[in-house]
Amino acid sequence: MNSESVLSGTWSRLVALAARPGARAIRARFAADPARPRRFSAAHGDMLLDFSKTAIDGEALVGLLDLAHAADLDGFRRRLFAGAMVNTTEHRAAMHMALRSRATDRLHASTAAGQEDASAIAAHERALMQRFVAGVHDGSIHGATGEAFDTVVNVGIGGSDLGPLMATEALTMAHGGVLHARFLSNVDGTGAAAIMRELDPERTLILVASKTFTTDETMTNARALRAWIADSLGEAAVASHFAALSTNLKAVSTFGIADDRVFGFRDWVGGRFSLWSPVGLSIALAAGWEPFEALLEGGRDMDAHFRSADFADNLPVLLALVGIWHVNAMGYGNQAVLAYDDRLRRFPAFLQQLEMESNGKSIGLDGQPAASRTCPVIFGEPGTNAQHSFMQLIHQGTQVVPVDFILAAEPDHDRPDAHRILAANALAQAAALLRGKSRADVEAEMRASGVSEADIAEIAPHRVFNGDRPSTTILVHRLDAFTLGRLIALYEHKVAVQGWLWQVNSFDQWGVELGKVLARGILPDLAPGAAIGAHDPSTAALIARFRGLRGEA
């Protein structure tokens, strides 16, 4: 039997296992096997991944691991870390792991000119970053009037915003930061106006994060802030108040940013994987260099685990396989992420880009339609906020939505009672999704409370929870910079594993391009008096209505 038929057989086996009678039952599996928490969990250091509250049983787990082996996941893993051009549509490596490596790790990336030492390149750029951060923090790098910087504004979008924003909030929320950080992404002028209204230009450092220095939203915002600095402090002040995270030195120079304020990275760094690079300069400026280094160290630690651990004990692989089970065997099209830590309130948004931009594809590596369903819709909020919004649907809705719960045992504050309440809610939500509440239990509870039989008959159905709703729990000791690095890298590798198993390219993002191109064609038609060009009838009508509402028809 050839490898292709073996792979096809493993997929078919998973579908067959999910079609067994009672295959979606989870409570019954605990009744039959009280040792499930030990058998269906794995740990790396203090990080525990518990997937026992899913419908995966012994046969299903064997089938999922067989899929990983049949798909030659180990070969993909080796090619990934060898710097092969796994981004096949753009002919690039995906060597973001080198960004958090040590210079001596000698991770290489394939380029059109041959292999280059990605670890050494990243270490060199990191040294430049460290020197700049130290200068800003000690005041030797300051604003045009001599004032020390107290705020850093990161101007970027997508991967140049979501990752740095998420990590900066996580690392500064509890105890504050060295600098205050603001993030400007949306081209809507409201955000820029708020920054210019609220901040002191003399004490504001602005980072423009755009690899090409041509991203429309980013450059529109950057030009607005440049005018603010120039109008407030004079044109000569621009060079003192800006730095660039870019590779387009000519455009950066034209903008007015000096070469020693430019921090670059190679094309083997994808935007949504780039917070470890100079794109993360805002993290280091706001949180401090030591936390930034600890973040890198945590990512490096997860890289080593993913690279070497057997699949049965490998957290990224297991997390990916749980998702494969839910999407491809069970047919679930959504995935919720609930981090029971307010510092991770932007983590679901970060994962939305990481997962859906990476694996939201319908064309396979062979250029043909994907052979299976791919990425689910990712959404989430911090617990306990989510309990008072969309958890209603997750508990009692018509569609089953698997949940990832994330919880730290030790808080980063001095309110232990509040943290116990938080933890109790996290554990209770997962237990409630598992256990549910039967009609008989609801009726007995209502009778014990003295509710009339008529009201019981009317109300009881609305208080029934079916249960058997799947969840995984990621439990760590505490959420510090090292653990955050581990957590981010865990999901990065999960995404790469799933992309390989679905046979899509996790490292390109052509789907973001079409809307950008069309926007450039629509923009001239929004000008007063302009002729409306060739568009579909709905778009043409909306352009006319838009201009009419502005009095510019």
- State how far the Cα of 225 lies from the Cα of 244, in Å rounded to an integer: 13
Residues labelled as active-site residues: 357, 388, 516
Contacts for 298 with CB less than 8 Å, ≥ 6 apart = 481, 482, 483, 484, 485, 486, 487, 488, 489
Smallest CA-to-CA distance from 340 within 489, 465, 479, 469 is with 479
Specify whether the CB–CB gap between 2 and 8 falls below 8 A.
no
- State how far the Cα of 506 lies from the Cα of 110, in Å rounded to an integer: 17
Tokens linked to 88 = 């096949």
Helix (H, G, I), strand (E, B) or coil at 215: coil
DSSP string, 102-163: -GGG--EEEETTEEEEHHHHHHHHHHHHHHHHHHHHHTSS--TTSPPP-EEEEE--GGGTHH
DSSP string, 495-519: HHHHHHHHT--TT--GGGHHHHHHH
- State how far the Cα of 401 lies from the Cα of 326, in Å rounded to an integer: 9
- State how far the Cα of 209 lies from the Cα of 281, in Å rounded to an integer: 9
